[in-house]
């Protein structure tokens, strides 16, 4: 089975093609029987566009997705060696489906103007399933990917599946670890979300806690903006923090919000405000000050995430701890989580994707789509809609 996956929930345009072995059949525990082969996994980042404005503006991101989708798709087809030959006389195509495609892509004129002539020109590639993110995320952005995927599904008569972005961030860990011991605790930390999730099995989740205000990645991004470090803030803060020569671990200056509360919720907006006040009071903002602040911001976020997550790992007797989402690309976070698990819960397996699979990509969508296909969760393409606030359940 070859799965074409589409990801446009935020500011990365992702297309991936995953081959899932002969028949992709699964054992009872959801263990893939035959191997997976990544034929392509292309991400067109919009960072350069959003850097100018210090953050992501949904309508600007939507426009970029419309621009990037076709070139990214062609690149993925070529890399997968699935690019097809041209139809001899494309103009004479009387396929009535193109009328439907026009209406599907009505709200994405820039994308429609490019993709429809392309689809008229080239034959259907060898794709068996289309997976697309339908939420959570920025609604205008989600729609671009959904309408693109719907158009392909309709024209080629290929089944389509919609997947949850948060679930994709979790299930991408199956790439490296074909069998994950359950129950697992999953911490998904991204620019839009901070959720602590109990995973009883694939497709069966309970959100234990989440942020009450800003997400961890959002906090990195906002603090970086205050310090004048640019966008995205996470990698910028991580880089500066690693250059701090003498971290004072005993006397942190910044607060660790909600670290001692009994629940599994988080709050990061107070940390950002504390950074803002400190910055306003500081007269000499030299490199040393910035390094110290970056170190303490990163450590404050790590301290809170580890404390709450370890509490969940112990209380739910988790056999695995899974990290996912852009913030889980943070090397210091990964290192400190690994050490903590080894020390305090050595029987729990610690799983985290490669950094480029922690951040948004379409390979994770293909994997989540595969698991949903195994559960026969196929909607009609007409029924797929964007849901900016979609939750795992």
Q: Which does 167 bind (CB under 5 to 8 A by kind): Zn ion, ligand KG4, none?
A: none
**Residue 314 is inside which H or E element, if any?**
helix 287-315
Widest pairwise Cα distance in the chain: 74
**DSSP labels, 189-228:** E-SS-EEEEEEEETTEEEEEEEBSSS-HHHHHHHHHHHTT
**What binding mask, one character per residue, do residues 359-388 give for ligand KG4 by CB under 6 A, x or -?**
xx----------------------------
Tell me whether residue 6 or residue 119 sits nearer to Zn ion (CB atom). Answer: 6
Residue pair 311/341 in contact (Cβ under 8 Å)? The answer is no
Interaction residues for Zn ion, span 321-380 (CB under 5 A): 360
Q: In Å, how far are 354, 369, 375 from 199, measured between CA atoms?
A: 21, 17, 16
CB of 194 to ligand KG4, least distance (A): 10
CB of 109 to ligand KG4, least distance (A): 26
Paired strand residues for 206:
198
The two tokens of residue 26 are 């699964």
Which of 282, 222, 278 minimizes the C-alpha distance to 255? 278
Q: Interior CA angle at 244 toward 240 and 247, to 5°?
A: 135
Tell me whether residue 231 or residue 264 sits nearer to ligand KG4 (CB atom). Answer: 231
217 binds ligand KG4 (CB under 6 A): yes
Helices (H), 20-164: 47-51, 58-79, 97-104, 109-121, 139-156
16 binds ligand KG4 (CB under 6 A): no
Tell me whether residue 153 or residue 190 sits nearer to Zn ion (CB atom). Answer: 190
325 binds ligand KG4 (CB under 6 A): yes
Mark the segment that binds ligand KG4 (CB under 6 A) among 76-84, 117-125, 289-297, 321-329.
321-329
Interaction residues for ligand KG4, span 165-194 (CB under 6 A): 190-192
**Nearest residue to the partner Zn ion, using Cβ:** 190
Size of the site for Zn ion (CB under 5 A): 2
Phi/psi region, residue 21 (left: phi>0; alpha: psi -120 to 50; beta: rest), is: left
The two tokens of residue 267 are 């709050």
Q: Which does 235 bind (CB under 5 to 8 A by kind): Zn ion, ligand KG4, none?
A: ligand KG4
Mark the segment that binds Zn ion (CB under 5 A) among 49-57, 80-88, 110-118, 184-192.
184-192
Paired strand residues for 5:
16, 131
318 binds ligand KG4 (CB under 6 A): no
CB of 294 to Zn ion, least distance (A): 23
Question: How many Cα atoms sit within 13 Å of 307 on the Cβ side?
Answer: 16
190 binds Zn ion (CB under 5 A): yes
Tell me whether residue 24 or residue 235 sits nearer to Zn ion (CB atom). Answer: 235
220 binds ligand KG4 (CB under 6 A): yes
Site of interaction with ligand KG4 (CB under 6 A): 10, 190-192, 217, 220-221, 232-235, 238, 325-327, 329-330, 359-360
């Amino acid at each position: 089975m070859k799965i074409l996956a589409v990801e446009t929930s935020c500011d990365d345009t992702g297309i991936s093609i995953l081959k899932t072995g002969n028949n992709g059949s699964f054992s009872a525990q959801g263990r893939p029987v035959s191997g997976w082969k990544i034929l392509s996994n292309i991400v067109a980042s919009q960072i350069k566009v959003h850097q100018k404005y210090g953050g992501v503006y949904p309508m600007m991101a939507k426009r970029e997705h419309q621009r990037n989708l076709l070139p990214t798709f062609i690149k993925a087809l070529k890399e997968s060696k699935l690019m097809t030959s041209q139809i001899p006389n494309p103009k004479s195509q009387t396929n009535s489906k193109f009328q439907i495609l026009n209406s599907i892509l009505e709200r994405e004129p820039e994308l429609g103007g490019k993709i429809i002539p392309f689809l008229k020109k080239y034959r259907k590639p060898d794709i068996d399933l289309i997976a697309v993110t339908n939420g959570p995320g920025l609604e205008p952005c989600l729609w671009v990917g959904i309408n693109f995927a719907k158009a392909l599904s309709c024209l080629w008569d290929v089944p389509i599946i919609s997947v949850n972005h948060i679930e994709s961030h979790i299930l991408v860990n199956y790439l490296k670890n074909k069998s994950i011991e359950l129950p697992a605790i999953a911490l998904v930390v991204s620019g839009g979300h901070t959720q602590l999730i109990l995973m009883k099995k694939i497709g069966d989740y309970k959100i234990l806690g989440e942020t009450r205000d800003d997400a961890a990645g959002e906090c990195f991004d906002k603090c970086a903006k205050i310090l004048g470090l640019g966008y995205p803030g996470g990698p910028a803060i991580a880089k500066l923090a690693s250059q701090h020569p003498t971290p004072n671990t005993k006397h942190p200056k910044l607060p660790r919000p909600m670290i001692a509360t009994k629940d599994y919720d988080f709050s990061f907006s107070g940390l950002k405000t504390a950074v803002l006040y400190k910055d306003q009071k500081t007269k000499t903002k030299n490199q040393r000050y910035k390094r110290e602040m970056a170190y303490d911001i990163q450590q404050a976020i790590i301290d809170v995430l580890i404390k709450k997550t370890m509490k969940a790992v112990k209380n739910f007797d988790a056999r695995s701890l899974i990290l996912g989402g852009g913030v889980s690309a943070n090397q210091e976070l990964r290192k400190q989580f690994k050490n903590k698990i080894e020390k305090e819960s050595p029987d729990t397996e610690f799983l985290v994707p490669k950094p480029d699979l922690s951040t948004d990509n379409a390979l994770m969508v293909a994997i989540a789509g595969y698991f949903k296909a195994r559960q026969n969760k196929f909607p009609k393409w007409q029924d797929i809609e964007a849901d900016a606030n979609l939750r795992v359940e």
